[in-house]
Amino acid sequence: MSFFLRTNYQIYHATHSPQTFYKYPVQSISQLASPPFLSIYLTKNQSIRLPGSYSSYSKMASHIVGYPRMGPKRELKFALESFWDGKSSAEDLQNVAADLRSSIWKQMADAGIKYIPSNTFAFYDQVLDTTAMLGAVPARYNWNGGEIGFDIYFSMARGNASVPAMEMTKWFDTNYHYIVPELGPEVKFSYASHKAVTEYKEAKALGVDTVPVLVGPVSYLLLSKPAKGVDKSFSLISLVDKILPIYKEVVAELKAAGASWIQFDEPTLVKDLDSAQLRAFTKAYSDLESSLSGLNVLIETYFADVPAEAFKVLTALKGVTAFGFDLVRGSKTLELIKSGIPSGKYLFAGLVVSTSCSLLHTAVDLVNETKLDKEIKSWLAFAAQKVVEVNSLAKALSGHKDEDFFSANAAAQASRKSSPRVTNEAVQKAALALKGSDHRRVTNVSARLDAQQKKLNLPILPTTTIGSFPQTVELRRVRREYKAKRISEEEYVKAIKEEINKVVKLQEELDIDVLVHGEPERNDMVEYFGEQLSGFAFTANGWVQSYGSRCVKPPIIYGDVSRPKPMTVFWSSTAQSMTKRPMKGMLTGPVTILNWSFVRNDQPRFETCYQIALAIKDEVEDLEKAGITVIQIDEAALREGLPLRKSEHAFYLDWAVHSFRITNCGVENTTQIHTHMCYSNFNDIIHSIINMDADVITIENSRSDEKLLSVFREGVKYGAGIGPGVYDIHSPRIPSTEEIADRINKMLAVLETNILWVNPDCGLKTRKYAEVKPALQNMVAAAKLLRTQLASAK
């Protein structure tokens, strides 16, 4: 059996998006062969020592788990959006995709990577690709069989004029998202997308022999949910016998095409699985064994340690040649490898150096960077650089070490360690002083809500939006030209004020109760704040895919964080001066800023989070002094950072929730604190959400088929204001007044009238005004309809 030695000698939790890029000081082969630098694959037919002597690594090779698909200049993003807007053809989109795949494969081949992945490219996400491969299309999309094309594929991802999209949720604890399969006993699976085989042949025609990658059958089922109308207790893994015939067909076609390796990604093995779920892995791979005969089979895990019971199951799987373990975030697995390999069964030969998971979660190429200064740039590596580094490690471990390469790495590490830019003693002292207090507001939420209502005088079922309004082409042009110094600050401020005024007037016309300024001055909800905080660095082209065509540029936190001056007060005050209605001050919370940044590795994450919390606290108090009475502190990524293992949940939630409370513990009772969360499963952390002690929480609900409401049906009492989203903003579909009213009625069945808010699922940045205006108009109409009905029922 084989275990691939998976590494980055950077601090690359690279699987937890966003991750750090900082380099470890690797100066010797023995360091390279020690955690936390490695994840390991062990291979058949020769013994090795772990970690150990130079002779142990004489047959070292290199492997990449996956690679960013958007392109160095976001070519796929623009091609997708052009196609969705009807400005280009399906053929145009396919041509852009083929060019990107070709360049990625050739880049890896030129770098000397031996095991190059294929089928990691996706037009939306790899789980949706698997749904297409299995023909698991929900009935509402009216698919009539045959090869699934873009119409059905993108309808599942984005919805269409007549039906909503499938649920979207976070991929493990990253900022990447996937489309959740909807399965049940009546689903008729069929081989409906030949993409994996087509892409393998495409690479082979270019002279590149690749390792086709498939989402493993058991992880696919465990990442799914019961379809609407299917009993929630339905066992998804009971469907394994129905999907394995399709996997066998795919494997047969890959073998016929000449594939010698195949990679199954089974990342759910790092989670807390029960015995029935673990047995499903044994059953699945036992059933696949004869089909896999003649192939080298690699099972990939990543994101955390593999628990001991799962390790036993995994290493006993039949027909499997190699296993991939993440020793960057799962260093305990090394002890299992050393002591837990079944006696007499595993003989090890050769090692393969690889990434700890797919490079999908990093930016593409540092060569494209013009914004980073020379010192900070020397501390970093993006996906293209990591490919080179992985191969350099493999060569070094085979006895062909590039001394100049490793000397440069050591010099970069020394530079970062000694740089005065990294440490701010005043910030560290302030963060240390936080210990000993839980930073709660002095009055309970019920009393605060009473005081706020007297001041705000809102109707029942108050309406609001989450923050952003559409970012038009003209608005983006204004920001771009201001950054390029092609227009003056005076011209920029004038243009942004005009946009804010337009958004304010629109909301007043729609009769929305609590307004937002639309955030026209902001590029991204994290980048905007990071650009104004010390300790952050920024890229020009460091884009990372979040979902579909949506990309973000995570800031890089390299040092202690502080707020040199107010960040949002001017724009919020300007917006409030344009209306008599309450205007929300809009901030991003410390946990979300942390989880959506590439975070320094030289101190615990919670210490960095507390520093950010103190900076946001300063901003909250300045907004209050400026007369802003409603302040929203978004924590969209709080759930995302939850560790994958339950034993680690309590510690994370303690410091994450504490960080949020720090930001607003000093405001008056009459200042209403909102927070917002989206696109995760919140039911299992509802008590921590209550512990955040916000006055109002708005939370995604409609796209996840109102899953959130079930927690309240089960008896959880929520006394603060709450706004479960009434429509999905990630779909171009416009919901009717009746549909929204029906959703509100479902909420009223489990929530008190006096705490319920009416709002969309998330911000409106990615939508067009032609969609936003009628959707919000219907939302307000639904709220007014319910107010009338509630009044007449008294």
C-beta separation of 354 from 6 below 8 A: yes
Q: Which residues contact 319 (CB under 8 A, 6 or more apart)?
A: 285, 286, 288, 289, 290, 292, 293, 297
- Between CA 573 and CA 357 the distance in angstroms is 45
649 labeled binding residue: no
700 is in an annotated binding site: yes
Please check if 551 is assigned to a binding site: yes
Decide if 727 contacts 779 (C-beta within 8 A): yes
Residue 656 φ/ψ, nearest 5 degrees? -70, -45
- The answer to whether residues 389 and 369 touch, using CB atoms and an 8 Å cutoff, is no
The H-or-E segment that residue 315 falls in is: helix 308-315
Residue 370's Cβ-side half-sphere holds a number of Cα atoms within 13 Å equal to: 1
Asked if 759 contacts 723 with a C-beta cutoff of 8 angstroms, the reply is yes
The closest alpha carbon to 597, from 519, 529, 661, 549, belongs to: 529
For residue 724, list its beta bridge partners. Answer: 699
Q: Is 436 annotated as a binding residue?
A: no
- The SS3 assignment for 276 reads helix
Q: 59, exposed or middle or buried, with CB in 10 Å at 0-12, 13-18, 19+?
A: middle
Report which secondary-structure segment, H or E, holds 492.
helix 489-510
Tokens matching residue 677: 């969360």
> Would you say 676 is a known binding-site residue?
yes
Q: Helices 489-510 & 569-576, crossing angle to 10 degrees?
A: 50
Cα–Cα dist 744/729, whole Å: 17
Is 687 annotated to bind a ligand? Reply is: yes
Q: Is 248 annotated as a binding residue?
A: no
Structural contact between residues 557 and 598, judged by C-beta atoms closer than 8 angstroms: yes
- Using alpha carbons only, give the angle 347, 351, 352 rounded to the nearest 5 degrees: 135
Is residue 52 marked as binding?
A: no
**Binding residue per annotation — 167?**
no
Does 519 show up as a binding residue in the annotation?
yes
Q: Would you say 466 is a known binding-site residue?
A: yes
Pairing of strands 630-634, 672-677: parallel
The answer to whether 730 is a known catalytic residue is yes
**Spatial separation of the C-alpha atoms in residues 527 and 529, rounded to whole Å:** 5
Q: Is 622 annotated as a binding residue?
A: no
Identify any residues that bridge with 23 across adjacent strands, giving them in sequence order.
Answer: 10
375 burial (CB, 10 Å; 0-12 / 13-18 / 19+) is middle
List b or e across 653-665, with b for residues whose CB sees 16 or more CB atoms inside 10 angstroms.
bebbbbbbbbbbb
Measure the CA–CA gap between 26 and 397, rounded to whole angstroms. Answer: 12
Point out the catalytic residue in the list 13, 16, 177, 730.
730
746 labeled part of a ligand binding site = no
The response to whether 77 counts as a known ligand-binding position is yes
State the binding site for L-homocysteine. 466-468, 634
State the binding site for L-methionine. 466-468, 519, 634
State the binding site for 5-methyltetrahydropteroyltri-L-glutamate. 77, 175, 550-551, 596
State the binding site for Zn(2+). 676, 678, 687, 700, 762
Active site amino acids: 730
State the binding site. 77, 175, 466-468, 519, 550-551, 596, 634, 676, 678, 687, 700, 762
